[in-house]
A and B are shown apart, each in its own frame.
Chain A
Amino acid sequence: MSRSIPLPSRADAIRLSGVLAAALLVAGCSLLPPALPEREPAEKTVWLDQNWSNDARFWFHHATQGTSTIPVPYAWLVALEQPTIRLFGDPPLLMDPDYTARFGFISSPRTVDAGGTQGYGATTGRFTVPYDPARFPGNPDGLPVGFARTPGYDDPTTGVRLPDQVGLNCAACHTGQFTYRGTNVRVDGAPATTDLGSFRTVLGLSLAYTRYVPGRFGRFADRVLGPDHSPAEAAALEKKLDDLLEQGPRVVQQMSAGLEGSVEEGFTRLDALNRIGTQVFYADLIGVDDPGFDPITNLHPNNAPVNYPATWSTTWFDWVQYDASIRRPMVRNAGEALGVSAKVNLTRPGVPSRPLYGSSVQFEEIFQMEELIAGPNPLAEPKGFKGLASPSWPQELLGTPDPARVERGRALYRQNCSGCHRPAPNDPSGRFWDPSFWSTPNAPDFRTTRFRSFRWP
């Protein structure tokens, strides 16, 4: 069905160009959405056996850490359209799985027992974790792996009630995939292949298009408010959208000097540690009255993007992060949650209901996530990592490796790699489990036994 598209007025066109330019300043790119690669077609999807049951996997992919990573309410995100212009028909939704897959996101089912290519299929996972359905809304809109719906909460800094939010959780950056001969193979805990920067750009564009491309705001309002909404409700929504579109470029302008020297992160990489620092030591301090200095001085360019590390067995490391800056898993998890925009109150104490350091971090959830990755004590017999496991080579998908080459590779690893990376956990020598590689039990920590990253003198 064809549809005529009314031309914008001159005033609207001027405003559109200005806002688009400003919104794109946020993204630092052109007026058009970035070019995205087409995804390699796959006839089926397979999740490897890594000890997790499907319900544990579904929960881990979509449980909230109390974060508001996406700077619009949940209802907005699922109502936005792709920032493309079509002469015929309406643009597809922004969160269409075929579109989000082009940013590297992994499509995810709406329910744990969904079938078809979006479903998990029969996996033999064993290890699970109990969760409270009342705290876990699931994935009713079929968002990608790692997107979590955060139920509405009172902002710990302002006390203002927020509508349902959208946060990224661990799985967004620590779930990997590859496609081989028509099969999309998905690996929990593996490095993600996403381009978060491009998604951020497109989200900004989508908001601007919603406001200024004729016809879009009406459809957006219908989805957010329902078809029977009043003109006043639509006007209020439009005002909120205007405020956001005005605020975003202003914030970027304020931060531009401090972020000079940042590099494009692209697919598979992120300067996560510097981004966490920017969120906590700059953005979270903006609302503090008279901090005694200008928080802009705390900014640091995002100039150290790295691949997302695998997460299996990391609970048992004595140090984590690429710079070995954190020991305790819960400190790491809370810091990660703050970095992806869990809200924390750093303002001066004064209002009893808003205590200093009050936050939206969901500690029960991030603890359960850690438990799911960790599993029981690996030194308990039979020795081995019993939580999230690194996947075994899937012979049924990739074929059987040549045994002679395997042995050659094992010898090369022992000679050239194991000095720093330690023996492979499944090395036939069993040396990985040598007590000298493990810390003294009953250390005053979350874990009683930790695998040493280095041998201390």
Chain B
Amino acid sequence: MIGTDPAQATVLKTRTVRLPSHLGIPEPTATDGVLAPARPVPL
């Protein structure tokens, strides 16, 4: 699901899941999933 934040960055709202700690995967940070602005390119 794609949404747009106030800074006009496209934010990837991924599904939230929990993982067992022994997998060694760190908790996501606030910036995970934030992409740079995506705009149509005029040609």
Contacts and interface: CB of A to CB of B under 8 A. Distances in A.
Contacts of A298: 17-18
A292 B23 contact: no
B26 interface: no
B38 A346 contact: no
A346 B42 CA distance: 47
A325 B40 contact: no
A419 B43 contact: yes
B17 A431 contact: no
B23 A346 contact: yes
Contact of A356 (B10, B23, B43): B23
Interface of B is mostly: loop
Nearest to B36: A456
Interface in A270-322: 274, 277, 281, 285, 288, 291-293, 297-298, 300, 304
Contact of A454 (B1, B14, B38): B38
Given A292-B21, A323-B12, A419 B35 contact: no
Contacts of A349: 22
Interface in B14-29: 14-15, 17-23
B20 A288 contact: yes
A387 interface: no
B2 interface: yes
A135 interface: no
Interface of A is mostly: loop
A457 B37 contact: yes
Interface residues of B, number: 22
B7 interface: no
A274 B18 contact: no
B32 to A, nearest CB: 11
A383 interface: no
B22 A419 contact: no
B22 A277 contact: no
Contacts of B18: 291-293, 297-298
A325 B39 CA distance: 17
Given A288-B20, A422-B41, A454-B39, 18 more contacts: A277-B15, A281-B19, A285-B19, A291-B18, A291-B20, A292-B18, A292-B21, A293-B18, A300-B15, A323-B2, A323-B14, A324-B2, A325-B14, A356-B23, A419-B40, A431-B43, A454-B36, A457-B37
19 contacts: A277-B15, A285-B19, A288-B20, A291-B19, A291-B20, A297-B18, A298-B17, A323-B1, A323-B2, A324-B10, A324-B12, A348-B20, A419-B41, A419-B42, A420-B40, A422-B41, A454-B39, A454-B41, A457-B36
- List the 9 shortest-distance A-B pairs measured between CB atoms, nearest first: A419-B40, A291-B20, A281-B17, A454-B38, A298-B17, A420-B40, A455-B41, A293-B18, A456-B36
